[in-house]
Structure 1
């Protein structure tokens, strides 16, 4: 198997630096100077590796969406074909399976910039929809007679509780907030139970 080229390796390093800058400063605040400093390269090399600003943003969008896709696929695989909603909640909120909060922060920065870069809308929505579908599928397995509207509402609530943890990561919230978010997701899941 051939070694990855230096250009591919350097491009990934610069994308990772871009991700960090967007997570810290937003899309517009992630200047070429900041990205170059974070990546440890000269500013003039950014164009060589990733292209102009629009090409860099497109590459970052693909990088973020691919990161979410990978995480969503890994979650679905861990859950397996028989995993129920409580298994999913345990997987989502288990500290050992923590995601990279920079992805969510960059995702939010991109959402905030959709008016300026409308081509980002569809890939961002699709990545979120894929995540919601994993939650909905687990909920349907656990509660097959529940209405699709209620399943969808609970899936959105569980997703919001999970995503909120990464969104708040710059605040360095108290550790017990993760347990509270898991409890909130569990309460939402229990609302799907049929009355006895």
Structure 2
């Protein structure tokens, strides 16, 4: 079996460093110097591995979307067909959920760049829609009598709570807040049991 190329490996390491820098400093603050330092390479190598700044942003967006897809596959694996809304909330808000908060922070930075980089919009929207679809699917199966409108509203609410938790991760939220966010998502999910 052939070994992965050094270029592929180094590109992944640089993308991970770029992800860390964007999560910490934002898209504009993730300078070539910071990325190179984080990756442990010389600045000229960034262009060699990832191209110019536009190419780097495109590569980062692809990396973030791929990271979300991987996390979403993990979520699907832990949610069997008979998963309940409680199972969903437990999986999303588990301490060891496997979600990398840097992904959400970089995602937000990329979303903020969409007015200048409209080419990023569709992949970011598709990634978010796929997440909504997984949440909605669990809720629909668990509450078949709930209206589509209520299912979508609860999907949006749970998703917003989950996203805000990662988005606020740089604040190092108190553990109690995480528990309260999980409880809020659970309470929202439970409304489907009584909804028409």
| Range class of TM-score, shorter chain | over 0.9
CA drift of 1:43 comes to 0.5
SS in 2 for 1:116: coil
Q: Where do 4+ consecutive residues of structure 1 move more than 4 Å?
A: none
**TM-score scaled by length of structure 2:** 0.97
1:82 is aligned to 2:82: yes
Contact 2:146 2:195 survives alignment (8 Å): no
Inter-partner Cα distance in structure 2 for 1:77 and 1:172: 28
Name the structure 2 match of 1:152. Answer: 152
Give the CA RMSD over aligned residues: 1.2
**TM-score scaled by length of structure 1:** 0.97
Aligned pairs for 1:152-171 (under 5 A) are 152-171=152-171
Alignment length (residue pairs):
196
Inter-partner Cα distance in structure 2 for 1:79 and 1:49: 37
CA drift of 1:194 comes to 2.6
Inter-partner Cα distance in structure 1 for 2:22 and 2:94: 26
CA distances 1:50-88 after superposition (whole Å, capped 9, x unpaired)? 111111111111000000011112111210222121111
Task: Structure 1: give runs of 5+ residues left out of the alignment.
Answer: none
Contact 2:64 2:107 survives alignment (8 Å): yes
Inter-partner Cα distance in structure 1 for 2:152 and 2:58: 30
Name the structure 2 match of 1:174. Answer: 174
